[in-house]
Amino acid sequence: MGEYARSLAIAQGAQGRWPGAAIQFILSRQAPYAATAPYPATLLAASPTFHSAEVIEVMKNWRPDVVIFDNAGRTAQLRAARRLGARVVYISARRRQRNKAFRLRWMRLIDEHWIAYPKFIAGDLGLIERLKLKFMHRPAVRYLDVILARGYGSGPGSERGSLLARMGLALDGYVLVVPGGGTGHPGAGDAARDPGR
- pTM, to two decimals: 0.77
| CATH tag for 2-143 (out of 1.25.40.80, 3.40.50.300, 3.40.50.11190, 3.30.950.10) | 3.40.50.11190
Domain ranges of the chain: 2-143, 152-197
Contact criterion met (CB below 8 Å) for 170 and 160: no
Q: Which phi and psi (to 5°) does residue 155 adopt?
A: -80, 170
Q: Which segments of the chain does DSSP mark as H helices, in order?
A: 2-17, 52-62, 75-83, 95-101, 104-107, 119-122, 127-136, 159-166
Contact criterion met (CB below 8 Å) for 144 and 116: yes
Task: Look at residue 42 and give its three-state secondary structure.
Answer: strand
Dihedral sign (CA 77, 82, 88, 94): positive
Q: How far apart are CA 19 and CA 119, in angstroms?
A: 31
Q: Which residues are paired to 141 by β-bridges?
A: 113
User: For 167-190, what is each residue's pLDDT tens digit?
Assistant: 787 767 766 665 555 555 555 555
User: For 54-75, what is each residue's pLDDT tens digit?
Assistant: 999 999 999 999 999 998 899 9
Burial letters for 169-183: b for 16+ Cβ neighbours within 10 Å, e otherwise? eeeeeeeeeeeeebb
pLDDT at residue 96 is higher than 80 = yes
Confidence band of 127 (pLDDT split at 50, 70, 90): very high
Q: Which phi and psi (to 5°) does residue 129 adopt?
A: -60, -45
